[in-house]
Structure 1
Amino acid sequence: MKKTRVKLIVKEFYKQMNPDMWDGSGERPDSFDTHAWEYPLTDAVHLELAFGYDESDGGWKYFCDLVYSSDNSSFDMTSGHEINSPQNMINSVMQLCREYE
């Protein structure tokens, strides 16, 4: 997948899900959304992005997941810290979606 497309996807995700660029410390703002956000890559595959709290790690993370459209089952995923860093998520999505255009 081309970096320009990934940048647009991640920018839209942050605009909707973490518009205040909260970094995970202090009180969580009302604008921070942890629902799964989907973007269709092909008719058969969606990219699912979300924020979540990792109990074992003791911190907030972002999750990037490839799922089949037919049954919403996951077949590849990655995650990372720094939930206020679109660049980190861009790098993760680029690596995860290298086969998709």
Structure 2
Amino acid sequence: MGDAMRAELLGEIRRLRSRGITPGLAAVLVGDNAASATYIRMKGKACDEAGLYHETIRLKHETTEAELLELIERLNTDHKIHGILVQLPLPKHIDAQRVLHRVTPAK
């Protein structure tokens, strides 16, 4: 991330925190792809450095599309969560576009 973008983002985070809002990110990882797990860990570290709340939700490869969609619906209504990252690729039995479209645009 460029320095100007980072500074702008950190400024926005400070403004939100001054209003009592701690931005939150939920990262959803389905399966055990090592590269994806590393990427999610790096996102968590970046959240820590920026003072964001974050949680990583790890699901088994066998998780059904219906189960994943149910989780997305729960995260959509979770007031602690302001952004949802569904880590791609998803297992072949899950329609990634359907899942990504289920994430509410406000998140």
What TM-score, normalized to structure 1?
A: 0.28
What TM-score, normalized to structure 2?
A: 0.27
Flag the structure with more relative contact order, 1 or 2, with Cα contacts below 8 A and sequence separation at least 6: 2
